[in-house]
Structure 1
Amino acid sequence: MFVNENSDPKRLLGRAILAPTLDVVNTVNEYMSALHTAESRSYFSSNAVCKADDDNGIIGDVHTPEFLNSIRFSGLPNHTLTLKIGSPVMLMRNIDHSLCLCNGTRLVITKLADHVIEVEIMTGSNKGTKVLIPRMSMSPSDPKLAFKFQRMQFPLMLSYAMTINKSQGQTLSHVGLILKKSVFVHGQLYVAASRVNNLDGLKILIVKDSSSTTTSTTNVVYHEVFNNL
C-alpha cells in the first residue's frame, strides 16, 4: 500500500499509518523502511546529562552512555537514526517559520551528508523547496523523566507511521489506522479518522489478539466536556 521499489517518494507524503502509541509507530517505521530499497545511512546521537542535574558527577556515573542511548520519548529523535534517500520524514523542532519548517512538517530526504541532511518540503506554500537540516541539541520535556539530559541529533523521525496525536493538522489521501489497543484519549479516534480527505482512503485494522475477528473498538468520550456547551 505504501512502499515498493518503484514508488514515487512524493506520493508517500499523502499516505500515513497512524497508531495510538509510539512503540507501534516505531515498529511500523522500521518495517516500512526495510522494504524501501535505496541508499541508506545511520546517524548516531551524542547524549549527556545536563550539568544542572549532574550532582558532582554522581548522576553522570549512574546513567551510562548506553542507558542514555536507549531512551526513547515522543518528540525526541532516537539515538540511532537510519535514513534512506526518498524516505518520508517528519520535522521534530521549529527551525524556520518563514519556510514552514515547523514541528510536524513532513519532508522527503533527497541527500544524506556527514553533517547535514538535504530534504524537500512537500506541503504548504514552500512545497518543492530543498533545505538543509543540521543536528540540534534537544532535551525531552516528559515530566516522568527524573533527570534532564541533552541529545545531539538530527531533529527528524521516519514518517511512514506517526502517532495519532502527532497527525493533528495533517491532511492525507490514504490513512491506515492500526489499533493494537483501543484509543485512550478523548477525541483521539475522531482525529485519526478525520485526517483523510476521502473516506475510501481510510483503512482500520483492529488487532486484539491472533485469533480475534472483532470489527469494533472502544471510543473514548468524556461527556463532561459537553456540559458547558
Structure 2
Amino acid sequence: MGSKEEEITLTTNKKTYETDSTSNRQNKTDRKPVENRGAALVRLKRPLPKDAYSDCVKLFSRNDQVDDFNRQSIVEFPGQLYEFKSDDEGDLKYLNKILAPETLWLKIAAPVILLRNLSDRLVNGLRGNIYDITDSGPIVEFPSLNLKMPLEKVRFSVFSPTRNTEIAVRMQYPVKLSFAMSIHKSQGLTIDCLEVDCRNIFKPGQLGVALGRARSSKGLRVINFKPQLCVIQQPEVVRNFLSRDSTELLEDKTCCSQKLESSEQRLVQTAHCQSTEKTEEKLQETEQDIPIDLYEDDAEEFDKEFDDIISMITVAQSEPVTLPSDLNLDLILSSLKCENVKTIMQENTN
C-alpha cells in the first residue's frame, strides 16, 4: 500500500506521562484559582517510598541551598571521601563566583552533574555518577549514554573588558555534586524521584518549572509550600498575552506571519520594559545559577564597562571610528569564542 503524507498540527504539549503533576504548574496560565492549585500541592507533601528516596533529587531555588545540601549529603554518603582542590589565579571576588567549586568533594557512586560541554554528547547539565577515582582524577559514568569518561581539569575564567584581561582563572574538574540541584539547572530534565523545596521561590513560573521536572506525581514530593510566598503573579504583559484570543488558524498558515500593529507592539514592549526594570534588581540578588563563569550581576557590570568604552567613541556618518589604543579586540573576541561548537548560533558567533 502506498503511504500518504499527512500534516499534523500539535495542539497539546505533554512532557510527563500523566497530567496530575503538570496540571498544577504554577503561574503558567492563571486559569485555575490559586486555592485549587495550592490544595493539590499541599497533598504532595506526603513522604515518598523509602526504597525510592535514596535516589531522590532535591530542587532548590538558590545555589547556596543546593551547596549546603550537597555538602551534608556527601558527608553522610557511604565510602571514602576524596578532595580535589582547584588551581586558582586572580581576583578572589570573582573566583568565589565561578560555578566550579574551589574544593570538590567526591565519593564513588556519588551523583554529579557536568558544568561544561565536553563533546556533542557530554553536555552541560548531563547527570552521572562517580564510577571510580584514580591518581589521574575521577571517572564518571553516564548511564543515559552508556559511557564511562575519565575527567581532566578544565579552565574556568572571568574576563574584564575595562582591564582588558582575565581577572580570575580556575582549573577544576568540570563537575559538581547533584544530590540537589537548582531549579534553573534542572531545566529540560525528566526526573523519576523528585523533592521540590519551595523556600525562597523568587520569580513567576519558577515553581512550575520545578514541578515539570517530575515524570509523574507518584515520584513527586513538594515541601515548604506557602501560597502567599510561592505563587508569584506573572507580569502584566504576560497575563495580557495569555488572556488574548488566538488568531484564527488559516490553512495556508499565513496567520503565522502576521505582525502586530505598530501601536500594539509598542504597548507590549513598553509593558515588558517596565516589568523588567521592577524585577531586575531582585533577580540580580538571588539568581546565582546561570551557565556562564560569572553571576548575572557581574555580567551586567561588565556590560556597563563595555558601554563606558563605547561611549568614549565619537561616531560620525562620514568619519572613521577610532578605538582606544589599549583595547585588545583579539583578546576579547577569543574569550567569546566557543571551543566546542554545538549549535548553528555558536558556529555563526565563531
State TM-score, norm by structure 1. 0.73
CA drift of 1:39 comes to 2.3
Match of 1:108 in 2: 129
Which of the residues 189, 192, 195 maps onto 1:173? Answer: 192
Counterpart secondary structure, 1:192: helix
The answer to whether structure 1 residue 186 and structure 2 residue 199 are counterparts is: no
Match of 1:155 in 2: 174
Structure 2 letter corresponding to 1:113 = T
Aligned equivalents of 1:168 and 1:148: distance in 2?
Answer: 30
Which of the residues 96, 110, 128 maps onto 1:71? Answer: 96
Aligned equivalents of 1:43 and 1:142: distance in 2?
Answer: 27
Change (3 A) 1:179 1:103: same
Structure 2 letter corresponding to 1:44 = K
Task: Write the deviation string for residues 84-106 of structure 1: whole angstroms up to 9, x where unpaired.
Answer: 00000000000011xx2000000
Change (3 A) 1:68 1:28: same
Which structure is larger by alpha-carbon Rg, 1 or 2? Answer: 2
Structure 1 letter corresponding to 2:124 = N
Unaligned runs of 5+ in 2: 1-46, 243-350
* Total equivalences in the alignment: 189
CA drift of 1:21 comes to 0.2
CA drift of 1:114 comes to 3.1
Asked if the contact 2:141/2:148 (under 8 Å) is kept, the reply is: yes
Counterpart secondary structure, 2:190: coil
Of Structure 1 and Structure 2, which has the larger fraction of its residues in helix?
Answer: 2
Unaligned runs of 5+ in 1: 50-62, 208-213
CA drift of 1:202 comes to 1.4
State TM-score, norm by structure 2. 0.49
CA drift of 1:215 comes to 7.0
After superposition, the CA RMSD in angstroms is 2.9
Structure 2 letter corresponding to 1:19 = F
Asked if the contact 1:206/1:216 (under 8 Å) is kept, the reply is: no
Match of 2:70 in 1: 29
CA drift of 1:205 comes to 1.7
Aligned equivalents of 2:94 and 2:75: distance in 1?
Answer: 22
Asked if the contact 1:47/1:69 (under 8 Å) is kept, the reply is: no
Aligned equivalents of 1:23 and 1:217: distance in 2?
Answer: 19
**1:1-229 equivalence runs, <5 A:** 12=55, 15-49=56-90, 63=91, 67=92, 71-73=96-98, 76-97=99-120, 100-123=121-144, 126=145, 128-140=146-158, 148-181=167-200, 183-206=201-224, 217-220=229-232, 221-228=234-241
Task: Write the deviation string for residues 124-152 of structure 1: whole angstroms up to 9, x where unpaired.
Answer: xx2x2111111001125899xxx731100
Asked if the contact 2:113/2:128 (under 8 Å) is kept, the reply is: yes
CA drift of 1:174 comes to 1.2
Change (3 A) 1:227 1:215: closer
CA drift of 1:178 comes to 1.4
Counterpart secondary structure, 1:104: coil
Task: Write the deviation string for residues 15-52 of structure 1: whole angstroms up to 9, x where unpaired.
Answer: 31000000000011111111111122100001112xxx
